[in-house]
Amino acid sequence: MSIPIVVKGNLGNDPELKFVKTSRGDTGLTTFSLAYKPRERKGDEWVEGDTMWFRVVIWGEKGESLVDTLRKGDQVLVQGSFKQTSFEGRDGEKKTALEISASDVALIPKSAPRKSAPKQDDVPW
């Protein structure tokens, strides 16, 4: 079962692109990890919770374009469907992964530093 989700977080690694053979030919599959740190209000202050990690998967041209655009540490908004998957790790242990099959990924621009007002000596007239 998949659940619709929108998450704002930071990339844990540069996006990785590989091509997979499908019935429509070779299709791009882009993946990256996303760190989300929940915050909640406790009294008069905001408290950060534990970081949650998601594996993000996006197919096709949308994903292919992300490889040249996004870098580790970038803040993004991811929209898609969420599911929990189980797999066997290299150590033979059963593990669980939180995965988002993304339909859209948007880069959140970094805030530009505010410029201070010019000093009287800086004004050219």
- Own/partner pairs for 51-56, CB < 8 Å, 24+ apart? 52/98, 53/12, 53/98, 54/7, 54/9, 54/78, 54/82, 54/98, 54/99, 54/100, 55/31, 55/97, 55/98, 55/99, 55/100, 56/31, 56/32, 56/80, 56/99, 56/100, 56/102, 56/105
The overall average pLDDT reported for the chain is: 88
pTM above 0.85, yes or no: no
Dump pLDDT digits (tens) for 19-63.
Answer: 999 888 899 999 999 999 998 888 999 999 999 999 999 999 999
Residue 110 predicted with pLDDT over 90? no
Dump pLDDT digits (tens) for 18-29.
Answer: 999 988 889 999
The Cα–Cα gap between 19 and 94 comes to 27
